[in-house]
Amino acid sequence: MMRVISALAALLGVCSLASQSQAQQYPDRPVKIVVGFAAGSGPDLQARTVGQQLAIDLGQQFYVENKLGANGTIAARSVATAAPDGYTLLFSSSSIAPTPYIYKNTGYDLLNDLTPIATVGELDGIFMLVNAASPVKTVPEFIAYAKKNDVAYGSPGVGNELHLKAELFKRMAGIEMQHIPYKGASEVTTALLSGAVQVMFVTPPSVMGLIQEGRVRPLAFTGLKPFPAFPDVPLLKQYLPDFVQGSWGMFFAPGKTPDPIINQLNTAVHAALLNPTVASVMQRDGYMPDTRNPAETAAFFRQKVEESADLVKAAGIQAN
């Protein structure tokens, strides 16, 4: 019996040393960051911004691969089923949190087959936008308009966080709006500019240029405080006091990725966010810095997944 115990102890020791050795050498080749949203979208821009700094700091290429479809679940599945060696990572917005309540079979277990690494920060809120040519200039005007006219809104897909937030707004405002799903936020923006939809909810990074150019009009920001770049945009909670909705972006690794690699990446992401260039981009986009360690990041993620159940229920979405 003692021989068996000794053999097991020796084996565990070898595995531990192998894990430590792997982490010490990591990364020794390019690292792929899979993003489930289109190039130019908020998550894509964040992944590329932080990835470029990780490449500088860690001495290996961190490149982005956009893998679209099913509200980011195709991208998530490709990472969840990848080798747990730190060379295939996922970057996702908070749209990943409600997926267990929307899809019956994603091909992976969100809370067990993906390991949260670090967030790039929390976004206090998102914009409610209309076309600049719209006669609607305030939230009360929009609500009144929607009660008398057919209104459509676009989102990057059924169950996407922007879909859920629009549905929540619809219910709280007591109006009807038709949902038109698209493949990505850029397509929704194109639909808004063409008049195919009358309103959209969207994270700031992908539309700040359009706001500055005067092509779209932000009716409200859903945060607790005004958006720094556009402080004159009213807060939605002025009109709907309980409507405060934000977002976040997070790096993940496949489940069972060794802890030393997760810890190294967590530290590296936080260091990248302190770089003045990266920090200025994140601050411009409204992200508040985050310093959670891996355990705290995992707890935060689990909480957000559990909270998403109520949003999905409020939106009246049935899992399919």
pLDDT in tens, 140-190: 999 999 999 999 999 988 888 899 999 999 999 999 999 999 888 889 999
CB–CB of 195/250 below 8 Å? no
- pTM, two decimals, is 0.83
Query: How is domain 28-124+247-315 classified at the architecture level of CATH?
Result: 3-Layer(aba) Sandwich (3.40)
Tell me the domain boundaries of the chain: 28-124+247-315, 127-238
H or E element in which residue 194 lies: helix 185-194
Q: Please check whether the two domains, 28-124+247-315 and 127-238, share a CATH topology.
A: yes
What would the pLDDT profile of 13-37 be if each residue is shown by its tens digit?
Answer: 544 444 455 556 899 999 999 999 8
The pLDDT of residue 11 is above 70: no
| Nearest alpha carbon to residue 89 among 229, 228, 219, 261 | 261
Asked: is 127-238 a CATH 3.40.190.10 domain? The reply is yes
CB–CB of 115/301 below 8 Å? no
Phi and psi of 249, rounded to 5°?
A: -130, 140
